[in-house]
Amino acid sequence: MSNICIITGSSGLIGSESVEFFSKKFDKIIGIDNNMRQYFFGANASTDWNTQRLVGSVSNFEHNAVDIRDINELEKIFSKYGTDVSLIVHTAAQPSHDWAANEPITDFTVNANGTINLLEMNRKYCPKATFIYTSTNKVYGDTPNYLPLVELEKRWEIAEAHPYFKNGIDENMSIDQTKHSLFGASKVAADVVVQEYGKYFGMNTVVFRGGCLTGPNHSGTQLHGFLSYLMKCAVTGDNYTIFGYKGKQVRDNIHASDLVNMFWHYHQKPRPGEVYNAGGGRHSNCSMMEAIALCEKITGRKMNYKYAEDNRIGDHIWWISDVSKFKNHYPAWNYEFGINEILTQIYTNFSKRL
C-alpha cells in the first residue's frame, strides 16, 4: 500500500514548497494546479516554470492540470488513490483582495466552493487523512486597524501597553462585524467550513491563517506577493507603488519552508478542527519603508518607487501574528528564516532567472 499526499496549488509558492518537502516523506505526491494565477495576474505571474521545475526534479511527483471547482475531475483523482491518501495540503486559491472585486463569483467559487469540493472528496475517499488549509489573516477583516496604533518614523506599531505588543495578534480576535474585502469573505467561508468538517465529522482538518507567505519560488505581482514583487522591482528598476498609510504599514513575513514545517508537525499529531495564526510574528516582520531599505541594501541600488495616497480597501495597517498557540501545541517547531534571509534568498533566486 502506498502513502500518498495530494497538494492543490502545487505550482504556487506554498504548494511547490510542500511538494519538495513531502516528496521526501511520502511514496507519491499528486499535484493539482491549472495555473489560474496567470488568469488572475497576467503572463508574468504564470507558474508554468515552477510546474516544469517540479516535474523535472521530483521523481515521485505527478502533475494534474485540474480546476478545483470541477468536482467530477477531482473525483477521478481521489477515487483512483482512495484510502492511500493520508495528507491533503490545500493551497490553491484566488489570493488577492483587489482582484476579487473584479470577479466576485470567480473569487468565491475558487476559494469557497473549491474548498468544500476537496473536503467532500476527503470525507468520501480518505476520511482519516489530514486536511491542511491555508487561510489568511484577512479573515479578521479591518478589525486590526482599530487597535491603538502609534506612528513611528518608519512604521506603525501597537501601543506597548497593549496585550498584543509582545507577540502579536492571536486567534481570539473576532472575524465578525468588519470589512474583509470580498477576498477575505470568500476565505472566511472556506475557513469556517474547514473547521466544521473537523468539529462536526471529527476529521483531521486544520486552518492556518497566514500573514505574508513568502520565499524564493513566489511569482510575485503588484496585486499579490509583497516581498517577491518588491525585490523584482528592486532588481529590474521597475516602478513600485506604495498604497497608502505613508508606507509605514507593517507585515509579518513567514518563509514557505517554515510554514510547510508547521504542516508537518500538525500532520504527525493532528487536532481536529484547529485554527492557528501562522506568520513571521515578532521574529520576522517589516514595514513597507523598512522593506524598501532592505532591498536597496541587498541589491546595492536605489529603488524606483512612488506613493499613492489611497490605501487598498480592507488592508491592514499593522499585522503581526501571534504563533504562541501553535508553539504551545507543537513545541518542537521553530522558525529557521528571518526577514533578511528571506529577502536575500528572493534576490539570489530572481537574479538567476533574469
Mean pLDDT of the chain, nearest integer: 94
Residues 134-148, mean pLDDT to the nearest whole number: 97
Please count the residues of the chain: 354
- The sign of the CA dihedral 250, 256, 259, 263 is positive
In the structure, what pLDDT confidence band is assigned to residue 314 with cuts at 50, 70 and 90? confident
Asked if pLDDT for residue 68 goes beyond 80, the answer is yes
Give tens-digit pLDDT for 231-267. Answer: 888 988 999 988 889 999 999 999 999 999 999 999 9
Q: Which amino acid is at 108?
A: F
Q: Mean pLDDT throughout 294-301?
A: 94
pLDDT over 90 at 2, yes or no: no
> Which of 116-125, 164-173, 310-319 comes out lowest in average pLDDT?
310-319
Residues contacting residue 312 through CB under 8 Å, at least 6 positions apart = 97, 98, 181, 243, 244
- CA dist 217 to 12, 169, 232, 255, 347, Å? 8, 27, 12, 10, 11
> Rounded to whole angstroms, how far apart are CA atoms 91 and 55?
18
pLDDT over threshold 70, residue 221: no
Predicted confidence band at 217 (pLDDT cuts at 50, 70, 90)? confident
Q: What is the pLDDT of residues 282-292, one digit of tens each?
A: 999 999 999 99
- Kindly indicate the confidence band of residue 225, based on its pLDDT and cuts at 50, 70 and 90: low
pLDDT of residue 352: 75
**Position 127 pLDDT exceeds 60:** yes
What confidence score (pLDDT) does residue 106 get?
Answer: 98
Lowest mean pLDDT, pick from 94-103, 170-179, 330-339: 94-103
What is the reported pLDDT for 354? Answer: 61
Superfamily of domain 4-353 in CATH is NAD(P)-binding Rossmann-like Domain (3.40.50.720)
Q: How confident is the model at residue 219 (pLDDT cuts 50, 70, 90)?
A: low
pLDDT at 1 over 60: no
Taking the C-alpha atoms of residue 203 and residue 199, their distance in angstroms, rounded to an integer, is: 7
Q: How far is CA 336 from the centre of its chain?
A: 17
**Is the pLDDT reported for residue 170 higher than 90?**
yes
Catalogue the long-range contacts made by 176-180 (C-beta closer than 8 Å, 24 or more residues apart). Answer: 178/140, 178/141, 178/142, 178/143, 179/141, 179/142, 179/313, 179/314, 180/97, 180/138, 180/139, 180/141, 180/142, 180/314
**pTM of this structure:** 0.94
Q: 223 pLDDT exceeds 60?
A: no
Please report, for the chain, the start and end positions of each structural domain, with discontinuous segments joined by +. Answer: 4-353
The pLDDT of 315-324, averaged and rounded, is 96
H/E segment holding residue 57: helix 48-57
Instruction: Using alpha carbons, select from 252, 241, 214, 243 the residue that is nearest to residue 350.
Output: 214
- In this prediction, residue 353 has a pLDDT band, given cuts at 50, 70 and 90, of low
| Whether the predicted pLDDT of 220 surpasses 70 | no
